Structure 1
Amino acid sequence: MDNIAGTKSSLTWAVNLSVLALVFLWLFPTVGLLVSSFRTGDQIASSGWWKSMFTAEQNLVVRTQDPDKQVQEGNLWVIEGNVFTEDGRPVGTISRYGTSSRSISDYAAGEAGEFRSGERVIVETNGDYRIESTEEMSGKRGKRLFVTAAVPPEFTLENYRFMLFDESNVEGMSKAFINTLTVTIPATVIPILVAAFAAYALAWMEFPGRALLIAAVVAALVVPLQLALIPLLKLHNEIGIGKGYIGVWLAHTGFGMPLAIYLLRNYMVGLPRDIIENARVDGATEFQIFTKIILPLCFPALASFAILQFLWTWNDLLVAKVFLIDSTGETTVMTNKIVELLGTRGGNWEILATAAFVSIIMPLVVFFAMQKYLVRGMLAGSVK
């Protein structure tokens, strides 16, 4: 009785749990990148993003005021200040501190400590410090203090400002973002336009060699991308379109065309034949049938391939490395820029998290926006 139509399968709970697990596995790192992109480097180094809303204990390296700020009080030379206000950090509560990198927690807050050069120091729990010396202190920079403090949550937009809008930052992602759009939009539109015409011809037009062309399209699906890179690059260089936007557009179009033709042709074959035959009887041309009947009914397939092609070209690194090499950085795409950041800023996790989240914003927007049109197209195509 379990196979009777209308009955509920006993494995429904397993399906629901599997879907929930997949959603969680996809959402967990995405939320982690988003939260980390608004945190400072010290917070990322001291605690995970899931603790971002709670007070966390951090080991901070701060610097006191310069010696030129010292004042004389009787026989002592004194420097006073606050480690939080001077370093621009959120006010926290200090539990321990140290005067050397080898011993960062030798003294409790409020307890007197000593620098190697002999100066006496006291750091209070609120960050206030006082340095005393029997002789006038010299040097161009202040003393380093190592403090262990409970710092409240802090979120900042500085990471995004630095990556996108800082004119002095040659590693900004804004230029790479524009370059990626310049590559992705034409590389998505061109194969859809060409493949739609080809799929219609292979599905509804009779001509010699049609079966061989369909077989060739299926065969092209199994050609490895890596196998075609070098021959295609040589061809582009010979005709003068290598190392530029035109070359990468045509490369993405060529690699995406077989799948586009295959998907659209199979979808068009499933459309009711009576609609097309009635249109021909009414005197409609093949172009009118294609534009006014086939394309509206094929909107779900077009939207599906558009999503796949956009995500593929946006996240592509290999094709961009081969066909879009520019030593000046004028045509560098976001995936390549992130690879460069891994080499130059491998320790700045806040910058890498920001760059990674900026790179996935557009695919997320396109996916959810196209989902709405995809459902609408499916409903429109189902009405006869």
Structure 2
Amino acid sequence: MTTSSLGAPPRNVISKILDKVGGGLVQAVLVLIGLFWLVPTLGLFVVSLRQETANNSTGWWTAFTKPAEWTIKNYADLLATGFTASFWNTVLITVPTTLLVIGIASMAAYAFAWMEFPGRDALFLVVIGLLVVPIQIALIPIAKLYGSIGIFGSIAGVVLFHVAFGLPFAIFLLRNFFAGIPRSLLEAARMDGAGEWKIFSTVVFPLAKPAVASLGIFQFLWVWNDLLVALVFANTENQPMTKALQSQMRQFGTNVDILAPGAFLSLIIPLILFFAFQRYFVQGMMAGSVK
């Protein structure tokens, strides 16, 4: 008599207990990992609210037993250095770049996915090839070009550079998502008399919200945290927060009372954005995994 004819073997008590607590155990482990991931952010926040002498003498975790060390003077000193202008420069660079990349890439991705034109596949291979081009090799040529047309050191120059190097990945990501949309939806729209723009704006783009949200988060974080492009193409008046913090470190060395609040302000916005759109982010990452 085979084992299959006898049915499943009896389960012991330990197996039943593991089945009942397994889901809760996994959730508890994930919560602990999430809290551990947030510890550096919490530490940075506490350091930004402590006096300089306290930060130099004891660890940040001791502040919870010494509330007298907490102060907002660090943030007042930071704003006195002109950091507010750098914050708005970062916004003026990041937001237009993200919107332009999403807008241009979504239209290009739709064309590559659903429109027939000569050289489409070859052009898409060129776009894929641009993914491996490092930005370092373009810094000097683009700097010379910007100097000749008079936009070197401006916010517009930084935005254009980020848009140019953000488009290949954006087109690649959205094209793969658009290609997974059922053809029957597009054919039904065409039978109703809709043109390509109507199909893109009313059928394809609304369905791509998860992928667009994921792309927006990626692009926002890349540009918000960028330092290399800002160092090359942004002057002192148009510098973003990353360059402003780097200049503070160069001038004053380890002045934690200035660097900590600046670093926390530059960190909190991406965190808020990620937690606000995390549902779409997860959907976008899972898009196309199940056919």
Superposition TM-score tier, normalisation by shorter sequence: 0.7 to 0.9
Instruction: Please list every run of 5 or more consecutive structure 1 residues that lacks an aligned counterpart in the other structure.
Output: 2-7, 56-151
**Which residue of the partner structure matches residue 43 of structure 2?**
32
How much does 1:16 deviate? 6.6
Partner Cα separation in structure 1 for residue 25 and residue 135 of structure 2 = 37
**Which residue of the partner structure matches residue 253 of structure 2?**
346
- Structure holding more strand per residue: 1
3-state SS of paired residue (2:277): helix
C-alpha spacing 1:43/1:180, structure 2 compared with 1 (3 Å): same
- Whether 2:65 is the aligned partner of 1:155: answer no
Of 114, 128, 141, which residue of structure 2 is paired with 1:231? 141
Of 224, 229, 235, which residue of structure 2 is paired with 1:314? 224
3-state SS of paired residue (2:276): helix
Partner Cα separation in structure 1 for residue 89 and residue 155 of structure 2 = 9
**Residue 51 of structure 1 aligns to which amino acid in structure 2?**
T
**Which residue of the partner structure matches residue 219 of structure 1?**
129
3-state SS of paired residue (1:183): helix
**Which residue of the partner structure matches residue 302 of structure 1?**
212
How much does 1:23 deviate? 2.8
**Residue 28 of structure 1 aligns to which amino acid in structure 2?**
V
How much does 1:17 deviate? 8.4
Q: Is the 8 A contact 2:211 2:283 kept in 1?
A: no
How much does 1:231 deviate? 1.7
Residue range with higher mean Cα deviation, 201-210 or 341-350: 341-350
How much does 1:159 deviate? 1.0
Larger radius of gyration: 1
Q: Deviations over 1:336-356 (max 9, x none)?
A: 111111122324322221111
Aligned CA RMSD, in angstroms, stands at 2.7
For 1:26-65, list aligned pairs within 5 A.
26-55=37-66
- Whether 2:237 is the aligned partner of 1:330: answer yes
How much does 1:19 deviate? 4.8
3-state SS of paired residue (2:125): helix
Q: Percent same amino acid at aligned positions?
A: 47
Partner Cα separation in structure 1 for residue 157 and residue 41 of structure 2 = 33
Structure having greater relative contact order (Cα 8 Å, sep ≥ 6): 2
**Which residue of the partner structure matches residue 112 of structure 1?**
none
Moved over 4 A (4+): 11-22, 372-378
How much does 1:241 deviate? 2.3
**Which residue of the partner structure matches residue 186 of structure 1?**
96
Partner Cα separation in structure 2 for residue 20 and residue 376 of structure 1 = 20
When normalised by structure 2's length, the TM-score is: 0.84
- Whether 2:34 is the aligned partner of 1:23: answer yes
When normalised by structure 1's length, the TM-score is: 0.65
Q: Is the 8 A contact 1:345 1:351 kept in 2?
A: no
Q: Is the 8 A contact 1:199 1:268 kept in 2?
A: yes
**Which residue of the partner structure matches residue 172 of structure 1?**
82
**How many aligned positions are there?**
268
C-alpha spacing 1:318/1:21, structure 2 compared with 1 (3 Å): farther
Partner Cα separation in structure 2 for residue 45 and residue 240 of structure 1 = 46
How much does 1:224 deviate? 1.0
